[in-house]
Structure 1
């Protein structure tokens, strides 16, 4: 199959989004007949119909839907390349992309990166960060989407290399009047009689909690699923459920909202985070500097 043309892919995405070739042509400032010709060439290249022609527009075929997903990814990647090259043309000495888990982003990573960038020697380095769940952090680093990943060391990093980052302490957060609020510490199984708040269900910590419950023949009852720790704490504040959060994230809002943070007496409650990358020798100078800055000394 011949190489795919990014301009044609961009027009294909526009047509799928608009559901109409003429409307896509207006949005892209190109005549509909030119788009139709490009799409016909695209179908010939891939060897299968990509669009269903309907009375008032078009819709992607199953093959077209698959190509649409790939095309969005390719166009996003092309956009990142363009941005990176523009950054170098403006005199930046390096650009580093980091994928990081929600805990790392919410706790210390932003402050650590800010401190790195304040150093005069790093003034021409640009750092981009994106939050992902731990498995996606690992996948993104392995696939080359990012130079560095920050995730819980319980994640399966496969052949990636790693360095020590920071650690945190998991606690159960409950309303002040909750039956568990007077306890000084908790075993995880003691929380399973109550409804929980969950962050994304396929995140590393949620998978670990489900497995921990299954080992004792129980399940975690998730009443609410949210996408951030702040949202989880708001749900707890409303009295709808309890939630597992890092002490380092929850302690300020817990005081302000009259919530109780109770340490978990479990071997996995103190988590260690790692910096992962494909090959230390292959890191760019900017990425190597940032990895060195983020690396914490080993402790017993």
Structure 2
């Protein structure tokens, strides 16, 4: 296994981003010739060219582009390690890293985490939450990138353990003048004659909707694809398409003005979310405290 030098990787990233060794050197306060020597050693180490010289600078080769992605990930991980260790020096007694789905972050998780951190007993705990789509949440917890994950329970959890957290309810949002706007409720099939706003192709919701359409022998037609529900609501409000969005997102953002919000009459319209983790015994005291807090907030009767 090769031991990669973080300083060299940082210089490689700077060269790729600036397209010029001199400018990268200015950014890193190092002469361009020194960078060139380090990158030559890096190419020797990986045994393949990483950069191609062009008329006005350099660009990464396909191998260089792959290394660039990994280098950014490694540098990000190193920065997190440094930040976490500094938090202990500053007096923090616990650090919790969590991955969460877009829906959970948009709806209730941020408020629940804020309530946890505002408690006097948790003032010395730091919580780092990163937004991912549900499959990536599960993968990240599996791989140890985070101790806790919050995701939709339809995702394959593998060996992870899970506890029920909260639920939401999908609805159809359409412009007021849309032919569906006066309906009291809608079946999913009734929406398939109209163009939709889609989410990322590998998001759990998008995969489920594609499958539901296929089971009906239909195709889900997208006019535009966005990265989050807030953007989807903007597209609908502009009259470009319709969208399936959690009712809780619409209500929490006060976004129903200028939209018709119609219940979705499907058994799967209610989505359940879980807190997932590897093993309870492997959780730190801070992680376990946060998990118990989230479960209590999501299931008040369990307190």
Corresponding residue number in structure 1 for 2:51: 51
2:88 aligned with 1:88: yes
2:32 corresponds in structure 1 to 32
Offset, 1:138:
1.1
Whether the 8 Å contact between 1:6 and 1:75 is mirrored in structure 2 is yes
Which residue number corresponds to residue 107 of structure 1? 107
Structure 2 residue 78 is matched with structure 1 residue 78: yes
1:120 to partner: Cα distance = 0.6
- 2-side partners of 1:2 and 1:201: how far apart? 35
Contact 2:96 2:287 in 1 (8 A): yes
Matches of residues 141-220 of structure 1 in structure 2 within 5 Å?
141-220=141-220
Provide the rounded CA distance (Å) in 2 between the counterparts of 1:228 and 1:61: 32
2:269 aligns to what? 269
TM-score (norm 2): 0.93
Q: Distance in 1 between matches of 2:237 and 2:34?
A: 57
Distance 1:265 1:56 in 2: 59
Matches of 2:55 and 2:227, distance apart in 1:
41
Contact 2:210 2:219 in 1 (8 A): yes
Q: CA deviation at 1:232?
A: 1.4
Kindly tell me: are residues 38 and 192 of structure 1, through their superposed partners in 2, closer, same or farther at Cα, counting changes over 3 Å?
A: same
**Structure-2 residue corresponding to 1:257:** 257
Whether the aligned pair in 2 keeps the contact of 1:95 and 1:286 (CA below 8 Å) is yes
Q: Kindly tell me: are residues 164 and 227 of structure 1, through their superposed partners in 2, closer, same or farther at Cα, counting changes over 3 Å? A: same
Residue 48 (structure 1) shift:
2.1
What runs of 5+ residues in structure 1 fail to find an aligned partner?
A: none
Distance, in Å, in 1 between the alignment partners of 2:99 and 2:123 is 21
Q: SS where residue 128 of structure 1 aligns? A: strand
Partner secondary structure for residue 227 of structure 1: coil
- Structure-2 separation of matches of 1:274 and 1:258: 32
1:233 partner SS = helix
- 1:233 lines up with 2:233 in the alignment: yes
Partner of 1:62: 62
CA contact (8 A) 1:168 1:246 kept: yes
Unmatched tracts of structure 2, length 5 or more: none
- TM-score, normalised to structure 1, is 0.94
Report SS of the residue matched to 2:154.
coil
Deviates more, 1:135-144 or 1:211-220: 135-144
The 3-state SS of whatever aligns with 1:66 is: helix
After alignment, is 290-299 or 222-231 more displaced?
A: 290-299
* TM-fit CA distance, 1:51: 2.2
Q: Is the 8 A contact 1:164 1:298 kept in 2?
A: no
CA–CA separation in structure 2 for the residues paired with 1:157 and 1:115: 27
**1 CA distance for matches of 2:95 and 2:18?**
35
What is the CA distance between 1:252 and its match in structure 2?
A: 5.6
Q: Is the 8 A contact 2:150 2:273 kept in 1?
A: yes
Query: 2:289 matched to which residue of 1?
Result: 289
Q: CA deviation at 1:55?
A: 4.7
Deviations 1:138-192 (A, max 9, x none): 1111122221111100111111111110001111112233222222221100111
Closer, same or farther: CA 183–15 of 1 in aligned 2, 3 Å: same
**Higher mean displacement: 81-90 or 58-67:** 58-67
How many residue pairs align between the two structures? Answer: 299
Q: In structure 2, the residue corresponding to 1:52 is in which secondary structure?
A: strand
Q: 1:254 to 1:179 in 2, by over 3 A?
A: farther
Write the distance in 2 (CA, Å) between the matches of 1:258 and 1:73.
41
Whether the aligned pair in 2 keeps the contact of 1:254 and 1:261 (CA below 8 Å) is no
Corresponding position of 2:139: 139
